[in-house]
Amino acid sequence: MAQLTLSMILVISALIQGLSAPQSTASPRVASCVVPLSQTVRIPVNMLGASEQPDTRDTSIPTLLVSKGAVDELPEGPASFDVLQDGSIVIVDPLRKRICVFDPQGKFRKAWKIGFAADSVTLLRSGLLAIEESGTDILHVFDRDGIAKPQESAVIPKYGDARVLSGTSGVVNRVSAGEARSLEVNYDRQGSRLLSLQVLANDTEGNTFVAVEGTAAGDSGEEIRLNKAIRRYSSDGTLSREVSDIPLDYYVAAVDEVRVRDGKVYQLLTTNSEVRINVWNTNDQCQHD
Amino acid sequence: MWFQVRIVLICFMFGGVALSRPQTATIARLPRASRAEIVARARAIANHSWTCGSSNLNASCSRKYRSDWKVGQRVTGVPYRWGGSDTPEQFDKKLAEGLAAGAHSQYGILSCAAGVDCSGFVTQAWGLPAGHAYSTSNLRQIAGKPKYNWYTDMKPGDVLNLPGSHVVLFTGYNPDGTINVCEAAGSKGRVVCHAATWSRFVKYIPLQYKGIDE
């Protein structure tokens, strides 16, 4: 009976595969000005061995640390970053309970101990860094030399709210220079549905950067499939640039996957061999369809 | 083509019975739970506060164990313990007995630690007894694929499962289209509820508990 059952499963699987139309994995067409990837900064990682303890004392180690994970435990490692005004990259290294700073090319500059695993780092308007403790969600403030500033407030910048209205449209209420403005977001990709909107940043020129998640999978797929794009809207609400198809093959699930600084979009993508910082410069000339 | 269809029909007539009987019995034994009950249980686990004592920093059965916590630290959320399925009450009892608060997979499954892992948390929220009969790998035995569009119509108490890796409990959609989930997260060291973007869940499979009382 077991053999019959197994063969039945195989036959049905083969039949279903044969009868089904191939599932489209191609991304929907983008009608706006597409910004190409301009740089990938690569920072090597070490894999934590099964019986190994992370070194939480040595701040001179120039690599980041990830764990393998297991059945029912995700791999852990750098999940958040931010970019300083000079282009330096600040990354959390939670397994070593420290914060690392790399230059814009990915060369190790320094690290400092914080004494706890952090899962988020955010550059504040004051120039200080707010670091969130994983185990308690408490925000700690440090300066860029790693000196704790417990008396300083940690107000995470907020750039606006978004609302998805339908599968093809949404609205963003952006806050820029103390003024609230409404921005219409149209998602006119054929066969694709808008899933979510997030306001990432507003710059001094009035541009607003919005993360847009959508899916072409409909409800017929077996697993979650989607694409993610970052759009730059001008102060008059015109969609001027789009970074399409952000890679989403994370080894360590990102907490803060995208940051925007001076018109550049940065993505943190931790794999099992390196941390990649993908950079798209929306100030550059871009490709038109 | 007609030959293939006939094979399928024959397989359903004979093999289908062999597949469905034990599965039906398993489903019939599942505790029933409403969606509101599931979410309330999940939030109770995520909101459970406890204080780490000095005896909870060490695991008597593991020399290499290192705690996520500090003495006197007040924590909200039952801690993450790989292979664990403790309820808040069981966790408190073990904590009072001096067991370690939480443990990660690198230390193995520790009987001298207390807490809950991702599948232990989800099955506990569904109302299944402690014991960890289900992991992300076999969760599908007690949870099926929802028939609705999960991008828009998923319901509180459903889960997003990545077999062999992780599972989270869905609790609702936000106006901006992101979703609210509760999970026993190793990276957070405990059970937490929070908003998340969809990109966190690429390749995850939506599942609906078969013991749900709609």
Domain hosting residue B203, numbered range: 35-50+75-214
Q: Where are the alpha helices (DSSP H) in chain B?
A: 2-29, 35-46, 88-96, 118-126, 150-153
Q: Say whether residue A158 is in contact with chain B using an 8 A CB cutoff.
A: no
pLDDT, average across residues A121-127: 95
Specify if B118 maps to a domain: yes
Specify if B141 maps to a domain: yes
Output the pLDDT for position A19: 38
Give the DSSP letter string of A153-167.
-------EEEEE-SS
Token digits of residue B132: 């960890």
Specify if B104 maps to a domain: yes
Give the DSSP letter string of B191-213.
EEEEEE-GGGGTT-EEEEETTEE
Q: Say whether residue B121 is in contact with chain A using an 8 A CB cutoff.
A: no
| Residue from B3, B199, B204, B207 whose CB has the most chain A CBs within 10 Å, to mutate | B199
Stretch 24-63 of chain B: residues touching chain A, C-beta under 8 Å: none
Asked if pLDDT for residue A138 goes beyond 90, the answer is yes
Stretch 156-185 of chain B: residues touching chain A, C-beta under 8 Å: 160, 164-167, 175-178, 185
Q: Say whether residue A154 is in contact with chain B using an 8 A CB cutoff.
A: no
Specify if B2 maps to a domain: no
Token digits of residue B211: 């013991």
- A120 to chain B nearest CA, in Å? 11
The predicted-structure confidence for B108-151, as pLDDT tens digits, reads as follows 999 999 999 999 999 999 999 988 899 999 999 999 999 888 89
- For chain B, how many structural domains are there in total? 1
Q: Rounded to an integer, what distance in angstroms lies between the CA atom of residue B66 and that of residue A56?
A: 12
Q: Say whether residue B72 is in contact with chain A using an 8 A CB cutoff.
A: no
Q: Which CATH number covers residue B169? A: 3.90.1720.10
Measured CA angle at A134 (ends A56, B69), to 5 deg: 65
pTM of the model: 0.87
Q: Say whether residue B6 is in contact with chain A using an 8 A CB cutoff.
A: no
Q: Say whether residue B198 is in contact with chain A using an 8 A CB cutoff.
A: yes
Q: Say whether residue A203 is in contact with chain B using an 8 A CB cutoff.
A: no
Output the pLDDT for position B20: 56
Output the pLDDT for position B4: 53
Output the pLDDT for position B38: 98
User: Which chain A residues are Cβ-neighbours of B18 within 8 angstroms?
Assistant: 1-2, 4-5
Output the pLDDT for position A220: 61
Q: Say whether residue A162 is in contact with chain B using an 8 A CB cutoff.
A: yes
Q: Say whether residue A163 is in contact with chain B using an 8 A CB cutoff.
A: yes
Q: Say whether residue B3 is in contact with chain A using an 8 A CB cutoff.
A: no
Output the pLDDT for position A285: 77
Asked if the Cβ–Cβ distance from B18 to A5 is below 8 Å, we say yes
Pairing mode, strands A108-113 and A98-102: antiparallel
Q: Where are the alpha helices (DSSP H) in B85-198?
A: 88-96, 118-126, 150-153
Estimate the share of chain A in helix, then strand, then coil, as percent rounded to the nearest 5. Answer: 5, 45, 50
Name the residue among B64, B152, B201 with its Cβ closest to that of A224.
Answer: B201
Cβ-based neighbours of B1, under 8 Å, separated by 6 or more: none
Q: Say whether residue A196 is in contact with chain B using an 8 A CB cutoff.
A: yes
Specify if B69 maps to a domain: no
Pairing mode, strands B143-144 and B159-162: unpaired
Q: Say whether residue A246 is in contact with chain B using an 8 A CB cutoff.
A: yes
Asked if the Cβ–Cβ distance from A223 to B8 is below 8 Å, we say no
Specify if B114 maps to a domain: yes
Query: A58-67, A152-161, A207-216, B105-114: which has the minimum mean pLDDT?
Result: A152-161
Q: Rounded to an integer, what distance in angstroms lies between the CA atom of residue A119 and that of residue B6?
A: 56
Q: Per residue of chain B (214 residues), what is the pLDDT tens digit? A: 454 545 444 444 444 444 456 677 778 889 999 999 999 999 999 999 999 999 999 999 999 999 999 999 999 999 999 999 999 999 999 999 999 999 999 999 999 999 999 999 999 999 999 888 999 999 999 999 998 888 999 999 999 999 999 999 999 999 999 999 999 999 999 999 999 999 999 999 999 999 999 8
Asked if the Cβ–Cβ distance from A69 to B16 is below 8 Å, we say no
Please state whether A75 falls in left (phi above 0), alpha (psi between -120 and 50) or beta.
beta
Give the SS3 label for residue A286.
coil
Q: What is the 8-class DSSP label of residue A182?
A: E
CB pairs under 8 A between A and B: 167
Mean pLDDT (chain A) is: 87
Specify if B14 maps to a domain: no
> Where residue A191 falls among pLDDT bands split at 50, 70, 90?
confident
> Where residue A153 falls among pLDDT bands split at 50, 70, 90?
confident
Name the residue among A7, A71, A223 with its Cβ closest to that of B203.
Answer: A223
- A127 to chain B nearest CA, in Å? 26
Share of chain A above pLDDT 90, in %: 72
Asked if the Cβ–Cβ distance from B178 to A196 is below 8 Å, we say yes
Output the pLDDT for position A51: 73
The predicted-structure confidence for A30-67, as pLDDT tens digits, reads as follows 446 999 999 999 999 999 987 788 888 899 999 999 99
Output the pLDDT for position A246: 95
Specify if B70 maps to a domain: no
